[in-house]
Structure 1
Amino acid sequence: MSRLDAGDPARAQRAEAVLHRAAARTLQAGEPVVSAETPAGLNGAAAQRLQLSGRTPDGVAVRQQLLTFRAGGTVYQATVFGTQLSEQGVDGFFSGIGLGRRP
């Protein structure tokens, strides 16, 4: 999980797009598949869930799923990466992410 304070919502939106392109470029991936499913705990934050398939620099085939979301001028990114991904595991990880939760 990472966080970037872009300063304002417009810059955060542009930063989120840059993060998406960088993830695809890193994996030498084609266009990402955008999923309509996003965690309920994001309290209305603008969210996108992407699936990428590509290769590591040494040629290993990998899959990556990213969840990016914006709250005000801040962009958050959660990433799951591996040669095989369990959809149930990825869904469980992403569903545990939320904004404004208290332990």
Structure 2
Amino acid sequence: MFVKYLFIYLAILNLFDGVVTIYGLKHAYIKELNPVMNHLYEQSPTVFFITKLALSICLLLFVFSSRLTFSKGWMKSLTLAAAFLYTCTLFLHAIWLLQI
């Protein structure tokens, strides 16, 4: 069950990251380093956010419709690592937002 909550946490972080990234890019505080997401943002910030939203929805659908048992050790480790790294990324976002 713990891993399912981490997946939900990742989906929420992804949406928050999308909002903060759009704000930072719009005001030229940051640069998007992910080439795919940078391309999407250059096409349209709306396309960028819809993509982030779709990814979060897909993650939630996976969690709530999956028949996987989320108790496998490797899945716990990978999900925990992803949550930790994404949290660190958002702390970096918070730092540059506080410097504005």
Q: Which has the higher helix share?
A: 2
Q: When the two structures are superposed, what TM-score results if normalisation uses the length of structure 2?
A: 0.26
The structure whose Rg is larger is 2
Q: When the two structures are superposed, what TM-score results if normalisation uses the length of structure 1?
A: 0.25
Q: Which has the higher strand share?
A: 1
Q: Which has the higher contact order (CA 8 A, sep 6+)?
A: 2
